[in-house]
Structure 1
Amino acid sequence: MSLNLTSILQRVISTPQCTSICGLKHFPAPPKYDHVHFPERSKLTVMERVPQFPPGLKPPKMQKRLRYMRGPELVHNSLQYKQYGIQALSGGRLKWIHFEMVRLAIGRKMDLNRMFAIWRIDAPWQPVTKMGQGQRLGGGKGAIDHYVTPIKAGRIIMELGGKCEFVEVQDILHKIAMKLPFKAMAVSHEMLEEMKLKEAENEKNNVNPYTMKYLIQNNMGGCQNWLSPFDLKWFCKYV
């Protein structure tokens, strides 16, 4: 018993394996950007090289205070606009020249009609002193050479968003992250949420009881005699 041509075509088209036959293609709907809120300024602002002090006040000097770069960032570790940005993977310092590098790179590559970028860090504020070339030891603390911004691991450096997808801006953010003086990576809101869930899952499903935290808390092998106070606090996770 033979079927007519119309019924055969209907059966072929209705099968999920042959959705692209006879020129029929099913493309996904374009994403909607109704939830995107643009800030007042769409471009990165120019950061000051030297902080402004009240008139008559001598610029104060400061110690190194490496604790400003050690440990995890507990506050500014998420994206405010829930889109894309650059996250620091380790501690470090940013000079004014790094701010300008990021600002110029984003300004050249960003589409101002449908994108925006904001800073998530402060302008350089911590003074770094330096002795003159060829001077002898002693003589007090040197003069202020430049200012820096200390960064902790997990800190969001800047955010980039708007009516765009992560595929469009991933290469731009990755190239900028590779030029920073510490380890950093381009991230999206979905990536950050996935990383948190994966870390919690790995900690929950770990079957090895001899973790670094267990070894340090129980002083296995007398390790507390040569570990630093930061290792006793963060269990060798952060430098």
Structure 2
Amino acid sequence: MALMPKRSRYRKSFRGRVKGFATRGNRVSFGEYGLQALDAGWITGRQIEAGRIAANRACGGVAKIWIRVFPHKPISAKPAETRMGKGKGDVDYWAAVVKPGTILFELGGVPEEKARLAFKRVAHKMPIKVKLVRRLATH
């Protein structure tokens, strides 16, 4: 089942635009390794779920996986070959709004090679460029 909110205040939202870099959610907080977004964009609930499954399979179910993004934004669409007018389309899917620097996934409890392989599999599922980052050493 694709991720989506249990309930939302408004049924439909404006598209908006993604400006600037992430100031929150841009550090590896839970695991040892993170997958960081390099581009701005929307990531659908299905893409997040596909990434989770890919990471789980690559690690053999040993690693602890944290998903750091959630699809809160309803994206509406009108059917193909529909005339203009008649209002805004129905909600088609839900998306997470991602800024450059946002940590999408985190992994813990596996060696770096395994984390690198897992995140490579996840990167193929993502619609934006991503990179692997390590947790900063705490003093």
Instruction: Kindly provide the CA deviation profile for residues 184-218 of structure 1, in whole angstroms up to 9, marking residues without a partner as x.
Output: 1122125xx8xxxxxxxxxxxxxxxxxxxxxxxxx
Is the contact between residue 177 and residue 186 of structure 1 (CA under 8 Å) also seen in structure 2?
no
Of 122, 126, 132, the residue aligned with 2:73 is 126
Q: Could you state the TM-score of these two structures normalised by the residue count of structure 1?
A: 0.52
**Cα offset, 1:143, TM superposition:** 1.6
**Cα offset, 1:130, TM superposition:** 1.2
- The answer on 1:102 being equivalent to 2:51 is yes
Distance 2:12 2:133 in 1: 36
Residue equivalent to 1:75: 24
Name the amino acid aligned to 1:51: P
Name the amino acid aligned to 1:176: V
* Secondary structure at the counterpart of residue 35 of structure 2: strand
Of 78, 82, 88, the residue aligned with 1:141 is 88
Name the amino acid aligned to 1:84: Y
- The answer on 1:157 being equivalent to 2:104 is yes
Taking every aligned residue pair, what percent have the same amino acid on both sides?
26
Unaligned runs of 5+ in 2: none
Unaligned runs of 5+ in 1: 1-45, 194-239
**Structure with greater helix percent:** 1
State which structure, 1 or 2, has the greater radius of gyration over its C-alpha atoms. 1
Runs of 4+ in structure 1 deviating by more than 6 angstroms, as ranges, are none
CA RMSD of aligned residues (A): 2.2
Name the amino acid aligned to 2:7: F
Where relative contact order (Cα < 8 A, 6+ residues apart) is larger, the structure is: 2
- The answer on 1:90 being equivalent to 2:39 is yes
Residue equivalent to 2:122: 176
